[in-house]
Amino acid sequence: MCGRYAATANPDDLIEEFEIDADRVGDPARSLLKSPQDPPPGTPDYNMAPTKQAPVVLSRAPKGEGDPLRQLRLLTWGLVPSWAKETKVGLRMTNARAETVLEKSSFAKAAASRRCLVPAAGWYEWQASPVATDSKGKPRKQPFFIHRGDDEPLAFAGLYEFWRDRAVADNDDPQAWLTTFTIITTTADPGMDRIHDRQPLVLEREDWTRWLDPGLTDLAEVGELLAFAQPGRFAAHPISTAVGATRNNGPHLLDPLPASELVGVVDPETGEILGG
C-alpha cells in the first residue's frame, strides 16, 4: 500500500485545481520504462503503477534562484535517493511510512525540504477475505476503489528526489537526471481498515501550501502535517479484478462490481460479509 492509484485528470485541470505557476509537464524527463508508457505520461491514467511517470506538484525556485514557483511536473514513481548506486532501489521505495519518514536515511532529507503533492482521483487496495479462498487455498483478494465521499480530487502527501547518472557526462542532458517520488502512507481510517491497515496520507487544501513550502524545515511542524488524520472522508466499493493487470486501463476500472459477483467480501462500512 499504496501500489496503484487512478490519476484521471488532464494537466489543464490540475493547473487550475492546484493553482500551478509553471507547467513543466512538457519538459524532457528520463524514464525507467523500456517501452513507451501507455497511456502516455501526462494523460489520464486509471491504473498508475510504480516506475511510471505521473503528474506531481512541487514548489521550487527555477535553477535555484528567485522565489519558489508551484510547478506541475512528471516524476517517476519509486523514490531513488541521490546516494543510490542504481535505480532499482526505487521499486522498494514507492511508499514511505508517516510514522518513521523523518528518521529513515532514505527519506529524511527529502522530508525536510523536498515535499510534493500527488494528485489522484482515488487509490486501489486489495482486501483479503476472512472466509473465502482462491484456487491455491489462500485468502481470496478483492480489489476496492477508495475515493473521497464528496468526489473531490485527492492530494497524497509525497516526497521527491534527484538522482544523477554519473555515466552521462553532460550535466544539462535530461538523461543525466532521474527525478522520482514516493507516496507517504499512514494508518487506515476506521472502516477503511477493513480493506487494508494502511492508506495514503491525504492532505486537505488548507495544508497544501505549508506542505509544499521548501522553506519549512522545522521538523516538528513537518511532523504535525505527517500526523494529520480526518476520518470519514473516504468511501470505497469493490471493483473488477481487471485492475490487477497494469495493461488494463480506462474509466471502466472504477465501475462498482455487481453484488452478484462478490464472494466473501467484507463491507467496509458495516463489517458484513457479502457473497457466499
Give the residue numbers annotated as catalytic, written as ranges.
Answer: 2, 125
Crossing angle, helix 205-212 and helix 219-226, to 10 degrees?
A: 150
Cell (9 digits) for 195 = 480493506
Answer yes or no: are the C-beta atoms of 173 and 184 closer than 8 Å. no
Angle at 41 between CA 39 and CA 44, to 5 degrees: 60
Distance CA 208, CA 113 (A): 14
In 3D space, the residue among 235, 247, 266, 255 whose CA is nearest the CA of residue 141 turns out to be 266
**Residue 53, CA distances (Å) to 26, 45, 116, 264 in order:** 12, 10, 14, 35
The number of C-alpha atoms within 13 Å of 230 and in the hemisphere containing its C-beta is 12
> Using CB atoms within 10 A of its CB, is residue 231 exposed (0-12), middle (13-18) or buried (19+)?
exposed
